[in-house]
Structure 1
Amino acid sequence: MQPESKSILWARQNAKKERFLWLLWLGGIILFILAWQEMTKDTLWIFVLDAPTQAQDLASRLFPPRWEYIHKLYGALWDTLNIATLGTLLGIAMAFPIAFLAARNTTPSRRFIRPLALLIIVSSRSINSLIWALLLVAILGPGVLAGIIAIALRSIGFVAKLLYEGIEEINPIPLEAIRATGASELQVIDYAITPQIMPAFLGISLFRWDINIRESTILGLVGAGGIGLQLQASLGMLAWPQVSLIILVILGTVVLSEALSSKLRKAIL
């Protein structure tokens, strides 16, 4: 005998839910219109209409790049790589213990220490590295050191957030087995937790380093060292062929760092 075919029943949404969805769509459209009006109330549309002509004029000044200027970018590019790498390492070193303090299953106190660790993570993630650099340049003065610390402070929140979420999702059975032997909490972390999170931790660190390469290229605009200083100087002199060369160098650096980071993550994970 042929099995009975199961008919699919299409149930219409109830009227209350339909009204709610329509009101939701209407509210979204009204919000978009109000936001568009607020955004464009001071817009001079004559400049917008003239934008293609201005863009074409700027492009004619940018090309061809001034290739003979590239020898002056080697030192600045090296500073940028150092800012990204050292800042990432410093941020990771601070983020690792903060992640353990923030995770529910490893924090010494859910009432006091965990909220403080979460506050540090949120504060780090809320402030852009460019703002950190601006503040640090005012405190430490211009230079690479301000850039390194700015990258580190920005990296703490990113690494710690992803890491503490990974700590909370680990398999609890190895923890119970290690504790049953009479091991201390540090030994539990060393032998039961760290081996489980280490692949994710290395992947997160590489991903953050890749992001920091991009962010460190513009820190020089506020005096925090790196190739951004050369970009700022060239823009100030309206040396457009130099600007285009610097942009190409930044693009090439970002592409290479992305490829290297991707290969390393695949090798680790």
Structure 2
Amino acid sequence: MTQLNSSLTVWRKYDEKQTLLRWSAWLAFVALVVYAWQLMNQDTIWYFVTDAPNQISDIGSRMWPPRWSYLEHLWLPLWDTLNIATLGTLLGIVMAFPVAFLAAQNTTPSALFIRPIALFIIAASRSINSLIWALLLVAILGPGLLAGIIAIALRSIGFISKLMYEAIEEVNVTQVSAIRATGASPLQVLDYGVLPQVMPSFIGTSLFRWDINIRESTVLGLVGAGGIGLKLQESMAVLAWPQVTVIFCAILVTVVISEWISAKARHALI
């Protein structure tokens, strides 16, 4: 009969040092949350927070029933919104295409000079929201659709370029080397070796960005860049809540239709 050892070894996932580090990290996280909560509460007027349900009920009652007769005033702004999103996306695609090839390590002509510039353009485009671009462009170009189109384009450059240059860097090197071995020029290598591999990703990314731009272009009118957002601002300024309901419904239907079109186009083209 085997005598069991009284000092059994207990298995632990972490040793004492790792356990101490984990508890220290959790304590630091809790302290950060408490500090952030206190910082948030400094300028918070809790009377308005507790009164929010009453305000929501009051505004909701004013928004119903919708003023469906106002819908006839929204067709042109909706058309302008679609034009802002579509033309802005097309302009962004045109500008993003060369930026992506300049940013990719395997296609850039200069990894020390040109590639950092291209990466900076991508980062700058992605870090600034289209609403901020529109606010800046309205101050420069004046209110109107042109400011909205350019704002959408500038925002789209970073999104499309980043995904495309990552796709360029992941192309099949064997196919590119085979075309280069035939004596093809660098432009021919890009045309026959790289483009066929990245074009499906490029088309899918462009359609997805157009779908996103439909949503973003609906609010550009709030800063004077045209579209249905301008009607939304006008209705909210005069407290015409039944009209606001109709505008919300029109935006919702437009976004749903754009998502359906984008999904069908991706399945058809890719």
Would you call these one fold, judging by a TM-score over 0.5? yes
Q: Which amino acid aligns with 2:78?
A: L
Q: Secondary structure at the match of 1:110?
A: coil
- 1:11 CA drift (Å): 4.8
- 1:267 CA drift (Å): 2.7
**Structure 2: distance between partners of 1:116 and 1:83:** 28
Distance 1:10 1:84, change over 3 A: farther
Q: Secondary structure at the match of 2:212?
A: helix
5 Å matches for 1:74-89?
A: 74-89=75-90
Q: Which amino acid aligns with 2:248?
A: I
State the TM-score, normalizing by the size of structure 2.
Answer: 0.95
Distance 1:192 1:236, change over 3 A: same
Query: CA offsets per residue over residues 38-78 of structure 1, 9 Å max, x none?
Result: 11122111221111111100000011111001011000000
5 Å matches for 1:1-269?
A: 11-269=12-270
Matched with 1:3 is none
Structure 1 segments, 4+ long, off by >3 Å, are none
Q: Which runs of 5+ in 1 are unaligned?
A: 1-8
Q: Secondary structure at the match of 1:214?
A: helix
Q: How many residues align?
A: 261
Say what the alpha-carbon RMSD is for the aligned residues: 1.1
Q: Secondary structure at the match of 2:183?
A: coil
- 1:10 CA drift (Å): 5.8
State the TM-score, normalizing by the size of structure 1.
Answer: 0.95
Identity of aligned residues (%): 66
**Structure 1: distance between partners of 2:152 and 2:267:** 25
Q: Secondary structure at the match of 1:150?
A: helix
Q: Which amino acid aligns with 1:28?
A: F
Q: Which amino acid aligns with 1:156?
A: I
**Structure 2: distance between partners of 1:85 and 1:129:** 14
**Structure 2: distance between partners of 1:11 and 1:173:** 48
Query: CA offsets per residue over residues 165-197 of structure 1, 9 Å max, x none?
Result: 000011001111111111111111100000000
Q: Secondary structure at the match of 1:182?
A: coil
**Structure 1: distance between partners of 2:36 and 2:24:** 18
**Structure 1: distance between partners of 2:202 and 2:11:** 47
Q: Which runs of 5+ in 2 are unaligned?
A: 1-9
**Structure 1: distance between partners of 2:30 and 2:207:** 41
